[in-house]
Amino acid sequence: YSYEDGYGDARTYGGERSHEGIDLMAEKGIPIMSVCDGVIEKVGWNELGGYRLGIRGNDTIYYYYAHMSRYEGNPEEGKKVKKGQVIGYVGDTGYGPEGTTGQFEPHLHFGMYYGKQNKLTPFNPYPFLKAWENGG
Confidence band, pLDDT 50/70/90 cuts, at residue 68: very high
Residue 17, pLDDT score: 87
The Cα 94–Cα 47 span in angstroms is 5
Neighbours of 26 (CB within 10 A): 19
Determine the pLDDT at residue 135. Answer: 84
pTM for the whole thing? Answer: 0.95
Over the stretch 10-21, which tens digit does the pLDDT of each residue have? 888 877 888 999
Is the pLDDT at 118 greater than 90? The verdict is: no
Question: pLDDT digit string (tens) for 57-66?
Answer: 999 999 999 9
Distance CA 91, CA 51 (A): 9
- In whole angstroms, give the CA distance from residue 45 to residue 49: 7
User: Mean pLDDT across the chain, nearest whole number?
Assistant: 95
Residue 16 neighbours by CB under 8 Å, 6+ apart: 10
Q: Which of 102, 88, 89 is nearest to 27 (CA)?
A: 89
